[in-house]
């Protein structure tokens, strides 16, 4: 992936922040696979664009799962990174996702509250019926905003940000995300993606103190394109 490709996917950039539309095949930070992460691609882009000597600073504010697409925030200064981390902990960064599911949800809109337990060895999150020392409360709201002959489009607003939260909670109500074998979908997508997209992120700029609302177009595939055209976005 070259710097020009990254440039085509930048959703917002200034001296303090850089927001990028992540591809479903990318990892945000380096992991045991050894694949080049999105963070390193962005560092290369910044180094080339601004002719920066030496190491480029880039802070990862948050991550989304490898098979998931959508908007990710990076910090270009330590000041903005520190402030964004505080905002994230305080719940001051609002995240909205789109998910394509095969089965209709129990209602057109609802609030889901569950106790989640993460199995780190299996890299999977499970829902428990009761709270205990190993669980975390997970909360989200969803609204059905589109449908096709075979699928439904849900818009999800995260109240909490837990490991695999959306994937686990939607699966729990009988709506596993298209392509998500780990959480109960019948078959995988050919490219290894799942149809979960970080659609929108909104927050107050940590330095300029102005509101930002950044929207990421979904990946270019027939199903995403159908829903995008259906709701005129």
Tokens of 221: 């595939």
**How far apart are alpha carbons 107 and 95 in whole angstroms?**
22
**How far apart are alpha carbons 35 and 32 in whole angstroms?**
8
Please, which residues have CB within 8 angstroms of residue 110's CB and are 6 or more apart in sequence? 141, 142, 173
**How far apart are alpha carbons 131 and 134 in whole angstroms?**
8
Q: What share of the chain is helix, strand, coil (3-state, %, to 5)?
A: 20, 35, 45
Strand partners, 160: none
- Positions marked catalytic: 65
**How far apart are alpha carbons 153 and 225 in whole angstroms?**
12
How far CA 206 is from CA of 14, 46, 81, 84, in Å, comes to 12, 20, 9, 6
Q: Is 142 exposed, middle or buried (0-12, 13-18, 19+ CB in 10 A)?
A: buried
The residue to which tokens 């959306």 are assigned? 166
């Amino acid at each position: 992936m070259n710097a020009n490709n990254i440039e085509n996917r930048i959703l917002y950039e200034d001296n303090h922040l850089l927001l990028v539309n992540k591809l479903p095949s990318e990892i945000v930070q380096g992991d045991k696979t050894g694949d080049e992460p999105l963070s390193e691609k962005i560092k290369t882009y910044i180094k080339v664009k601004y002719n920066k000597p030496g190491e480029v600073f880039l802070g990862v504010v948050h991550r989304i799962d490898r098979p998931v697409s959508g908007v990710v925030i990076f910090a270009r200064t330590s000041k903005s990174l520190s402030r964004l981390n505080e905002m994230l902990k305080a719940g001051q960064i609002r995240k909205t996702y789109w998910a394509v599911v095969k089965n209709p949800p129990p209602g057109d809109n609802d609030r889901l509250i569950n106790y989640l337990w993460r199995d780190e060895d299996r890299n999977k999150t499970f829902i428990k019926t009761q709270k205990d020392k190993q669980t975390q409360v997970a909360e989200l709201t969803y609204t059905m905003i589109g449908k096709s002959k075979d699928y439904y489009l849900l818009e999800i607003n995260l109240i909490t940000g837990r490991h695999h939260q959306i994937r686990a909670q939607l699966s729990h109500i009988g709506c596993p995300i298209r392509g998500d074998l780990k959480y109960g979908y019948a078959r995988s997508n050919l490219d290894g993606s799942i149809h979960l997209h970080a659609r929108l992120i909104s927050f107050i700029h940590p330095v300029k103190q102005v509101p930002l609302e950044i929207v990421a177009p979904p990946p270019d595939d027939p199903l995403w394109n159908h829903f995008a055209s259906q709701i005129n976005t």
